[in-house]
Structure 1
Amino acid sequence: MKASSFRLRIGRGPLVIIGLFLIMIFTLGYRYFQEMKELHLQVQTEAQLLSTQAIAKVLHERSDLFFYSSELDSEWIEKSSLNVFHLRAPITLNGDKDDWGITDDFFHRYSQDSALYAEDSRFSQPLAFNLLLGERAKSLYGFVAVEDSKLLFRDPLKYRRLDNSDHIRLILKKNGLPQRYVLVAAQPGEMTAFEVHEDWRHAVTGEPEYQIKAFLKPTKKGYQVEFQLPYDWVGFEHRLVVMAADVNDSYFRQVETVIGTLPTQWSGELNQLIILSYPLQKILAGLERLESTRICVVDRYRRVRTVTPSMTQTVNLCDKNNEKSKRLIDSALAGASQVVTYQRKNEQGIMSTVIASAEPVFLKEEIIGAVLLEKDSQDILTHQRKTLDRLAYVIIAVVMGIFLFIVRLSFRILRLSSELNSVINSEGRLVKTDIQSEKEARDDLGDLSRGATELLGRLGRYTHFLETIPRTLRHEILNPVNAISLGLQQLETSPEKVTEIVKKTKRSILQLELIVSRLTEAAHIEEALATDVIATIDLAYLLGDYVENIRELHPAVQFNYSDSSREVLIQGNDLRFVQLLDKIKDNAINHLSPNGSIDIVLGCEAGWVSVTISNDGPLVSDSVLKALFTGIIPRQNAAVNSPHLGIGLYIAYHIIQSHRGHINVTNRLDGSGVSVVLTLPAA
């Protein structure tokens, strides 16, 4: 146990070293990628600031690209501005914004703090609305989502006034003069627009304004209104006010709340519509191809002049509600360049590093706007993370592969070792010659297992030979010894028969010499085969010549030979092959029935050569068939002048093995005798 434990500890050493080496590689690789990440972010930050400065420099002295006035109140311009988005697709007036292609993040929201009139200052019935404006094909579109606890429609048969139901109010400058319009509905669907007086109660002409189209759709929270009017109605100043009026009492029908897009202190003014600058968009159009890069240009009033990519598709970095964007804009409008990095979740919910920079735009010495540039370094970091993941996966796979390989190899070695240890019992006797562990494996362990099986097989045959030879020799040697002893006794009693007795004694001595010779041949057959010279021989010619010789040697035995009309070539030793044929022939003669014959047939098929030698005679039992090639198989009725040790087939087996062939002994199907089939590869 101590030795095994020591070997096990030695086996753990390489595993620990390999594990530490792989961990070191992973750690160094991780630190390398972290340093590369920091270096990349630093380089990208500097490059982005330079890019922002370059864009700002292009816009310097371009007052035509910015809305700029030194006479207007900056706070009023900032709070009154309404963004008008370009609509990419045609709009269907149905009360839904699905075809606008703009996210809800770009709604302007107005609630209690934007109330222009409230009958009940406590707002028992709160009113609020979200506004979105867009332009397409010389038309201005509006989408108003009103939150109203009670929707009251107009009853034109009972009430002529236009302010006795929930309605939308519009004020715009048409031809330089303010004009008022109300959008009313008697039921869900299309609304009617009227131009009204300043008190919002009665129509100016009494006729609807058909150039203004609108649609009302009730919702769970209130209602949604979608309207369209000619874009040139907002005038060259681009001014418009949108209001929502709420009526809750169906009997008195008095306006209780009015909420507008301008607070009370600026109720006499109109909102400034901010149309994205198309010249700016053209200048920045080429930068839209840069993936994960966003550019925003604002004027000195913090109004968005252009955004790349379209600000209708994603939350833009110019959002005034974004604290980071607000700080960047404040810094740029104060005349200072700034660049920041921060973490943010992307659309897939993955944290990514964002680099944002801002640069002021000058008109002479005065700041007229700012350029903001934001880039998501997710592409580089994603590549880094993928590389790191691949490194981790490779290391884990290598570690697991090595671990599994070592475990499996150890298990296979232990299993093979255990089976090898069990082939010999405690008494030192061989109890097993066939190793099953790793027998079918196609690697070194498989070769070792098959080699051990072959070695044990040879050892088993030799052991069996040694175990069976004493009793066989006892039987075979006693016959000539008894004959010699009998002859000596006869010499004492019958001296006149000395010649006959000497003749029998010499024959017995020759039998003893023959036994010793055959034993010596069997004991050294493997050593002799190892020194044989292998050459190409014509088996058809060899068999023909061999049959002629044995016919002369055994004239009393009938040999039938079916020869081949062509060459049959094999690789082997002709003398050793003749010895092989002699052993099989002698065995066939010993078991030949009276008046029987021996048939020899040569065949060749599919690269293999077969020689079949069959004789008429008794059949071989199954128990003897299994042990024919293992050693000595004695015959009980062997003639005295012909000792039979049963080692002929043992020698034949080793000779055919040295020729890379096979030998098989079977009983004939008709029960008339036994067949021996030799199979060898053709040359």
Structure 2
Amino acid sequence: MNLRRKLLLVALCTLALPVAGWLYVRQMETLLREGQAQALVASARAVARSLVATGAALPQDARGWYVEQAATPITVDGYGDDWAPLTPWSQPLGPRGSVLLAEDADGFYLYVQQRQTRRVRADADDPGALRADHLILELDRGDARLRYLLASAAPGSFTARLLDPPVPGWPDRLVGQWQEDGGGWRVEVQLPRPLVVDRLGLGLYDASAGGDPLAVDARSLWHYSPTLAQELDRLAPEEVRARVLAPTGWLLAQSGHLQAGGPQPGWFSALVYRALLANPVEDAASWTQDAPRLDLPEIARARAGKPSTVWRDGETRASVVLAAAVPIGTPGRVRGVLLLEQASTTVPLLANRALFTLLATSFGVLLVAGGILLWFATRLSLRLGRLRDAAERAQMADGRIDGLFAQGRFPLTAAPDEIGDLARSFERLFEAVGGYTDYLRTLASKLSHELNTPLAIVKSSLDNLEHALQANAALPPEAQPYLARARDGVARLGTLVRAMSEASRMERAIAAAEAEDVDLREVVRGCAEAYRPLIGARELTCQLPEAPLPMHCAPELIAQALDKLLDNALSFTPADGWLRLALIAREDGAEITLANQGPPLPAAMQARLFDSLVSLRDKATPGDAPHLGLGLYVVRLVAERHGGSASAGNLGDGSGVAFTLRLRNMPRQRL
């Protein structure tokens, strides 16, 4: 990972600022919700206490039969088509029965269903009617009580029989409809409107199950009360929907409407609020229905005497609704539940406003910080790149310092920061390396000049010593080997001195060579043809490009370099081995490769082969001329004179080595 990416990653750490702000805004939204919930619970408790204090018509019992308002006219025919809108809120009766109660301007209606497959039939007037399937209907008002037996031996109209002594003003008989199918039977009865009762008792008797044929479940009747609704409307806060529920959740009164006041947030603000800020809310389906009964966990907790709050989605965009349920009554006796609902856009608007302000500030800070860090990283990368390029161009392959100082100095040495310190250290280092390299380059010529005189003195002294000994007497046999060794050592030293002088002359000769336009392909072809008689039984393969390869170069230097490479290759190639000479055209010049079969190069010597006085050949035996290792040094000088380089490496299959000479066009001289 480069420096700019690292600093950009550091800049991204500033994203922790908006994340922390987002968590703070969410916490603020939670606190706003808690404050609003506490305020609504306090209002609900005040209204509940007022309802008790004013003596509102609240349920006296914990259980009752709820009488719904008929939305459509009801025809007493024993079928449930007219009761379809009320069917979802049927009330259980016995193990397998249900009952629906409704009223309208014409009367009071009763619809009972019993699910069973075995039937015992009898009319109400039959002596054994109490042992057949039947329904007991009990009407209570004050101290008066009447019970009716509803039974029928066949589907159709039936007449209920009075089981108690008649009461003036109450009907002696009731007429209804009895219907049956494979799943059970149904009873539908209408009570006359003037009849007013306080309690209603119902008892379903299943002859196949047995039991008490006269048992009834008597409960108070609960209705929606317009009087209680008016009282609730007077006590409830504004812009709040209030509902009074029976302990079991039946609606007794309601007032107000859900209306979110204040400005409405846009669709984007609503999306941001719901995606990033809003805490989980309840589904609105159970609350928005205009249902006669609410069976929710909040109602159950309030019925147990514990106030409860819940948040849900509002009916408008980005609005939320807070519902608070509190018990109505005294401790230990809950007579109902008060439910207050308040729609609000204040919390989303405040949260969105805080979030957008935070995001805008954080985004601005992030842009500024990221821009500054990116500018700093770019500038630092460019400065380090200049320093790296200058260091890479400073030293040539032979160790010489070549043109590293533009305008006489190393780049960035005038900078006052740590980069400047590093550049100045590089400058001092390269100055020391350059001076030491120049000293080493001239050391050979200096030594060759200085050693000529001492070698001449030693050689003449040996000659004089030998003549003096031979003039007086014969040279002792035991002294002859020592004298021969001394003469051999002097000869070898003389060879080394001449080689060092020759290397200096070769450098000057190669540097002074002039370039001309030639076809490099023909130069290499001519060298290959000249080498074939010299390699004996070895096989030489020459690979040349199909098209001519024009090049501005010194052909005699290239031929000299190829001669040195061939001489080096023949020293290591077996007598029946092979050699491969290849010329390849490159975009910036050409590449000549000479590969030969033989032992691989040691890894430690591959980079030193082209230095002066370095050789891998076996040391010469006494009396033989030593190998001075100047051939590959000449190859490197020729490559550098052509702006290229020389390299060596082992072949991939391990069968030999390859020497590569990379050449470029020499610069043309102006006339």
Q: Is TM-score (shorter-chain normalized) higher than 0.5?
A: no
Q: How would you bin the TM-score normalised by the shorter chain?
A: 0.3 to 0.5
- Normalising by structure 1, what TM-score? 0.39
- Normalising by structure 2, what TM-score? 0.40
